[in-house]
């Protein structure tokens, strides 16, 4: 299990426990985190789970892992940054305990 901190666009933060093997998106959905819509339920088809990985964690989460993720990021409602990821594509492991993600102002 890992602690993940979600920081809203207004700066409010919420830290929750997310089971290993789940995704950052699923952790948000299961814990009522505002700011991640996840319209497609993690099917890599909507880009409404866009997040910005905190700079301190960018090396551990890596860059978008597939062409599909890169393509979907082109459809986000807010600016794409170098640390932009779809939270449905970030799998939780022990190595991500303490992960911090920032949420964009809007998902659509």
What average pLDDT score do residues 3-19 get?
Answer: 98
Sole residue written with tokens 């985190």: 33
As a whole number of angstroms, the distance between CA 31 and CA 84 comes to: 22
As a whole number of angstroms, the distance between CA 86 and CA 94 comes to: 20
Percent of the chain with pLDDT over 70: 100
Bridge-based pairing of strands 99-102 and 2-7 is parallel
Predicted local confidence at residue 90, as pLDDT: 98
Nearest-5° Cα angle at 83, 20 to 38 = 55
SS3 51: strand
What average pLDDT score do residues 30-48 get?
Answer: 96
Which pLDDT band holds residue 21 (cuts at 50, 70, 90)? Answer: very high
What average pLDDT score do residues 7-14 get?
Answer: 98
Q: Are 35 and 74 in contact (CB under 8 A)?
A: no
For residue 17, give the nearest of 105, 91, 97, 101 by alpha carbon: 97
What average pLDDT score do residues 20-32 get?
Answer: 98
Max alpha carbon distance in the chain (Å)? 32
pTM: 0.96
Task: List, in order of start, the domains of the chain with CATH numbers.
Answer: 2-102 (3.10.20.30)
Res 93 pLDDT > 90: yes
Predicted local confidence at residue 65, as pLDDT: 84
Convert the pLDDT of each residue in 55-86 to its tens digit. 999 999 999 989 999 999 999 999 999 999 99
């Amino acid at each position: 299990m890992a602690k993940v901190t979600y920081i809203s666009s207004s700066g409010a933060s919420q830290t929750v426990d997310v089971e290993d093997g789940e995704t950052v998106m699923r952790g948000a959905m299961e814990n009522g985190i505002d700011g991640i819509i996840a319209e497609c339920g993690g099917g890599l088809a909507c880009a409404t789970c866009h997040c910005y990985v905190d700079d301190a964690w960018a090396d551990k989460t890596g860059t978008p892992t597939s062409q599909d993720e890169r393509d979907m990021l082109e459809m986000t409602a807010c600016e794409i940054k170098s640390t932009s990821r779809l939270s449905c594509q970030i799998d939780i492991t022990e190595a991500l305990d303490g992960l911090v993600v920032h949420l964009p102002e809007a998902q659509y």
